[in-house]
Amino acid sequence: MSADHCILGIDPGTAITGFGLVRGTDDDALQAIDYGVIRTPSTEPLHVRLIHIYQSVVDLIQQHHPRAVAVEELFFSKNARTALSVGHARGVVLLAIAQSDTPLYQYKPTQIKQAVTGYGGASKKQIQEMVRLLLVLDTIPKPDDAADALAIAICHYHSARFLQLSSQ
């Protein structure tokens, strides 16, 4: 994977969608290119919020031209309302990616934890600290959704590197 291999990680949510872009450097380290969140006000109707998420993801893809986009798979929550809300956001994120013809990869939460920390049962704090260390950042990225999105991008970077090395 070359140094210009940019990966966009997305942590979908209706109120807050996290995004994080990483790339490998020539010395095989990882570098954060950009990260943050897409916020939608709860006072807006759902369809307006989804349009905002969709357009923001389209803009991120057009601005950064990632070679791949990685998204967390929907996990079943005890709260059906939360799962449905995340599902709405995830749907428009997947649509934006599909329309861009950028390769899409999806990872389960345990796969992300395993790739970032080496342990599939890692805590949120452990993941955030490993994101900080792996990307050589002074502080843990805030808010949590941005750190989660960077973890998703890191997960794909490691997965793609493993597949590349194992196919040689």
Instruction: Report the catalytic residues.
Output: 11, 72, 145
44: tokens are 């807006």
Residue 166 scores a pLDDT above 60: no
CA distances (Å), 168 to each of 1, 2, 163, in order?
12, 15, 9
Q: Which residue has the tokens 């890191």?
A: 154
DSSP, residue by residue, 155-166: HHHHHHHHHHHH
Q: Residue 148 and residue 12: Cα distance in Å, rounded?
A: 10
Q: pLDDT class for 1, splitting at 50, 70, 90? A: very low
Q: Which helix (H) or strand (E) holds 72?
A: strand 68-72
pTM above 0.85, yes or no: yes
For residue 125, give both structure tokens: 């704090």
